[in-house]
Amino acid sequence: MTAAIRTPHATPPEPGAAIEVAPGVLWMRLPLPMALDHVNTYALDDGDGWTIIDTGFDSRRSRAEWQALLAGPLTGRPVRRVVVTHHHPDHVGLAGWFQAQGAELAMPRTGWLYARMLVLDNQPLPGPEQLAFWRGAGMDPALLSKRAGERPFNFSDMVHPLPPGFTRLIEGGTITMGGRRWTIRMGDGHAPEHATFWSEDDDLVIGGDQLLPSISPNVGVYPTEPLADPLGDWIESCTRLAAHAEARHLVLPGHKLPFSGLPIRLRQMEENHRSAINRLLDHLATPSSATACFPVLFKRQIGEAEYGLALVEAVAHLNYLLHRGLARRFLTPEGIWLWERA
């Protein structure tokens, strides 16, 4: 983290505990069973109850953590409303669980539709479209064969069923939480219609995964929309949100530590991807599959645990070039897309 990006808290809250980051705003942390081993959640004091920002996975451990938080720092007052920044499982996982206890759900329409659709789409094995997508990206044949016989990740594994009914968050809209009025600004790229919240009364910004301090969120292409351009959406979002960012802002992110220095961080995130794009263009002087682009894009060894995320992000960078006429692709007889500089 650069000197211009600072955090007022050197350590995160302990399990079952909370840190007050501003009057009436509590920062809590829930565990995740993966390399990125946590997700941040926030509770905003609405007087007779709480608004919760994001929820963690639906798991026995997460529910137990929430029970401890509700009885402890949340002082037994009810969760009246759950606000979800975007549809990914670590953020929406327990929204339906809170709804079943009487909470209102507020989130972007695109995110709600994605989450509700994916919860209902349970696949015991990867489908032919998924296998063709992996093959087309150049997945190692041994790994492809292994994954073809395994149950893939299903939303229903980590996301509580979502009942019908939610309150839509829209670009430019406002919401009152924790005694503050917040302007809603949408990002894109990591997730479609990702909500961020900018306080009109003080320096707080709730950033979800759109605004992170020291890591870049995954920007990936999936077989549901194989020619999508999420990297273009991401870069455009960084530019658009930068028009509102000020050094005074304290950003409450979805992962890692709250931080200030948002204008610099937005430039960093955009420049990191532009640098990767330039390296990729040089690499594509020789035709290459998406997976063969890993070394030039990530500059480190990619293991099996992160292979899937690396694959979808490599395709996102290649699609970015394709949509701008900077690269072209052709399909081999083996079903692998090879990419080259146009």
Q: What is the CATH number of the domain that holds 198?
A: 3.60.15.10
Confidence band of 3 (pLDDT split at 50, 70, 90):
low
Task: Please check whether residue 268 lies inside any domain of the structure.
Answer: yes
Q: How far apart are CA 96 and CA 57, in angstroms?
A: 11
pLDDT (average), residues 216-236: 96
Q: What is the pTM of this model?
A: 0.96
Confidence tier at 277 by pLDDT (50, 70, 90): very high
Mean pLDDT over the full length of the chain: 96
Residue 304 is predicted with a pLDDT of 87
**Per-residue pLDDT for 54 more than 80?**
yes
Chain-centroid distance, C-alpha 265: 17
In this structure, is residue 3 part of a structural domain?
A: no
Specify if 98 maps to a domain.
Answer: yes
* Sign of the dihedral through C-alpha 103, 109, 112, 116: positive
Between CA 204 and CA 219 the distance in angstroms is 25
Question: Count of domains in the chain?
Answer: 1
Q: Which residues contact 219 (CB under 8 A, 6 or more apart)?
A: 189, 190, 230, 231, 234, 273, 313, 316
Domain carrying residue 180:
19-125+154-273
Residue 92 maps to a domain: yes
Nearest to 182 by CA among 194, 192, 196, 166: 196
Do the Cβ atoms of 278 and 327 come closer than 8 Å? no
Band the pLDDT of 2: cuts 50, 70, 90.
Answer: low
Q: Give the model's confidence band at 207: pLDDT under 50 very low, under 70 low, under 90 confident, else very high.
A: very high
Q: What is the DSSP string of 282-327?
A: HHTTS-B-SGGGHHHHH-S---HHHHHHHHHHHHHHHHHHHHTTSE
For residue 163, being part of any structural domain is answered with: yes
Residue 155: the pLDDT is 94
